[in-house]
Amino acid sequence: MAVKASASITLSFMVDVYASYRYYKLQASAASAPDAPTVFPPSTSSGWDDTEPRYTSGSTNTLYFVDCTVFTDDSFAYSKVSISSSYEAAKEAWNKANNAQKTADDAKDKADDANVKIDNLEVGGRNLLVNGTLVNGYPSASTGQMASTSANFRTSDFIPLKTGETYTISWRKNGGIIRQWLGVFYYKSDKTFISCEDLQRTGDPVILTKVAPTECAYLRIYWQYLADGKVKVEKGNKATDWTPAPEDVDNAIDDAAKTATNYMEFTEGTGLVVGDMTSDTLGNNVLINSESVNIRTGETVNASFGANQIELGKGNDNAVVSIVNDRLTIQYISGDKITQPFCGIKSPYYLSILAGVDKNLHLRLDVYGDVWGINLGVDNTKFNASFDFDNINFEADAINFKTGGTSLTKNSNYRIYGGRVLYSNSSGSTGTITLNETANNFSMIEIFYGKDSQGYDSTKIFLPNGKTASLTVTNMYSTTGIQTATKLVTISGTSVTPNTSRCGYVNLDGSSFSKTGAENTIKIRYVVGYK
């Protein structure tokens, strides 16, 4: 048997990238960005060139570039035109260098001018005026002794200085122009008064440069007090920014330390207590420990806030917890119309207790003057049960409703129905009656009926709408006779309609039996609906 061999070869062709070229175009920055070339290579007239130009000092042009990808089938594609970041960086660097050179030239000119001024400059910096030693009032211009203790003025202590040395006094105010009194007084080493000057100055700041006169050992100044005014006395002829005297800084640090210890105390095992520690008896304070934050009076905890428990009104039976600007309060009441104490929730408004988030049980307690009410419902707008009485008393075997101190019993003039009266006619009706609300709104209705002086009865119908009910009365019509009367009624919406062909009665008297049909004698007097 001969065997023949065969084979096949599949040839395929793929287009690949052959090469990539970049072209550049330099043009004025104000001109619109150029479009990419449409031919490869770009024509000379298009302005696109494959050589990247260098930045020329002072140039404001913008350099654009585009990439062209050439494929093995001789097709090509240009990229999006972009701005050369390196060219822009070079332009920015040149501008910064140029500006820096200009700034340096200007700075040199200013430095040359400043060198002249510096040669004659004396700077002290340290404030020689200690605010902690200031006194109220001002000295006399004739004697140099304190002539007033007015709180509208401040006078410094004796500031030591040396004859012939230069001192600068500066007076600054936060805004506005100072036009106030400022006096400079000079004293000998024994604090004998020498002279005074400059009793009024205008400006902001006021800056005075003074040379200590002969025999001067002390300087004293006064000024009209301004709450935001700051005065500095320093050695030299140059006023520097206001700084407090080192003595004032030290005093502030000491005061801060005293403040901390006066109002905070940490004890190992107890915690951090924040309160007035300067008092002989610890008053209101806050204790912070690892378990809770406690608000206390002395060591008595009034409230405690912990991760697992919050306590309010602790240790005080008379404490009142106020919520929402006194719209709701919680307090312990030792007696109020009852013999046993209780913890009450009080509100001048309706008090609602809501369960769930949507159409779940709601309990609302209402107070209208002397009338109390309890409303139960399934949403916050519609309450299905309402009880309005002066008093509701719950006992072991009964719930007693009272109004005006009178119990609502079967012998009273009040009647309590467990449902809603839908029809009422004391005389009764044998025809179609109309309910004041559709039967479809109720899960059950009860029909009260009777046959004049021959007996009364009632019938309950569950899910009544569309149902047919039998109304039946059985009674002794004689000493030996029993009569049973009946009729059918159909319940539909607000109508209860009798079936006149399905009504009548039967009599049983000893051994005799009689009947009649189509006699509509049963009257409906009341209909009550239950939800």
Q: What is the DSSP string of 447-500?
A: EEEE-TTS-EEEEEEES-TT-EEEEEEEEESSSSEEEEEEEEEEEETTEEEEEE
pLDDT for residue 182: 83
Which of 483, 491, 495, 363 is CA-nearest to residue 433?
495
The pLDDT value recorded for residue 492 is 96
What's the first-to-final CA gap in the chain, in angstroms?
Answer: 99
- Residue 90: enclosing H or E segment and its boundaries? helix 85-118
The secondary structure of residue 49, as a DSSP letter, is B
- How far apart CA 32 and CA 330 sit, in angstroms, is 77
Q: Taking the chain (531 residues) in consecutive chunks of 10 residues, what is each chunk's mean pLDDT?
A: 65 75 88 89 87 84 89 87 84 83 80 58 74 91 92 91 90 67 91 86 80 92 81 89 87 75 83 87 90 90 90 83 83 66 70 58 51 51 47 52 55 54 93 95 93 85 95 84 90 95 85 76 93 79
User: How many CB atoms are closer than 10 A to CB 229?
Assistant: 19
| Angstrom distance (rounded) from CA 197 to CA 221 | 10
Residue 412 is given by DSSP the state S
- Burial (0-12, 13-18, 19+ Cβ within 10 Å), 493: middle
Query: What is the reported pTM?
Result: 0.34
| Nearest Cα residue to 207 out of 156, 241, 248 | 241
Q: CA 380 → CA 130, 141, 327, 340, 351, distances in Å?
A: 70, 83, 19, 33, 12
Residue 322: strand, helix, or coil: strand
**What class does CATH assign to 131-244?**
mainly beta
Angstrom distance (rounded) from CA 422 to CA 399: 26
How many residues can be counted in the chain?
531
> Residue 286 contacts by C-beta under 8 Å, 6 or more apart in sequence?
273, 274, 275, 293, 294, 295, 296
Number of neighbouring beta carbons within 10 Å of residue 498 = 20
User: The tokens 């061999």 sit on which residue?
Assistant: 5
- Residue 188 has a pLDDT of 94
**Cβ neighbours for 122, distance < 8 A, ≥ 6 positions apart:** 166, 235, 236, 237, 238
pLDDT value of residue 362: 54
Residue-level pLDDT at 6: 67
- Grouping H, G, I as helix, E, B as strand and the rest as coil, residue 117 is helix
Beta-ladder partners of 179: 202
pLDDT, residue 46, reads: 85
Number of Cβ within 10 Å of residue 154's Cβ equals 21
Q: List, as one string, the DSSP characters of 230-270.
A: EEEEEESSS-------HHHHHHHHHHHHHHHHHHEEEETTT
Beta-strand relationship, 135-136 and 62-71: unpaired
Instruction: Report whether 198 contacts 183 (CB < 8 A).
Output: yes
